[in-house]
Amino acid sequence: MAIRFVVQARAIVRQAEKEAEETGSPQIGAEHLLLAMTGECGAEARDVLASAGLNRDAIRAALDREFRQSLAAAGVTLPPGGLPAASRDPNRRARMAASGKLVLERALKVAAGRGQIQPGHLLLGVLAAEAGTVPRALVLAGVNQGDLAARTQQALKRSDA
């Protein structure tokens, strides 16, 4: 059986590309997919994230804290104003990073047998990561990844019913 992305899941991937491009990132990572899920196209995932207090601003703040802590661990301190905004190349499109590809692969596995990938499957793909930027940011946001994954699975069961 072929598995396809529903319109909303496809829109999340497109929004993640915009998220990456806005930050000057040449690659779409799990963090960009997570941020994209807070928008209108990811209602199911957005609602689960909101139930844990994670809207776009909260996720962005946690990702910024994670970035600063990671730099500090390497002995790098950012100036008070932070880094200047990244320059964007309007002719260059962001490509999927390894963490983004893993999210998509995990979403495919979770959606197997259902025929389509929903926004919740993408969120489960993000939440399955045991290491990396997103898990560290979620800890900094005070969110239990396992609890959030369980909420997502419940939301998917409700949408299947």
Domain ranges of the chain: 4-160
Fold classification of 4-160 is Double Clp-N motif (1.10.1780)
Query: Which pTM value belongs to this model?
Result: 0.91
Query: Is the predicted pLDDT of residue 1 greater than 60, yes or no?
Result: no
d(CA 103, CA 70): 22
CA distances from 89 to 26, 71, 81, 92, 131 (A): 9, 25, 23, 5, 30
Torsion from C-alpha of 160, 103, 91, 67, nearest 10 degrees: 120
Contact 17, 25 (CB under 8 A): no
Predicted pLDDT at 144: 96
Predicted confidence (pLDDT) per residue in 24-75, tens digit: 889 999 999 999 999 887 788 999 999 999 999 999 999 999 999 999 899 9
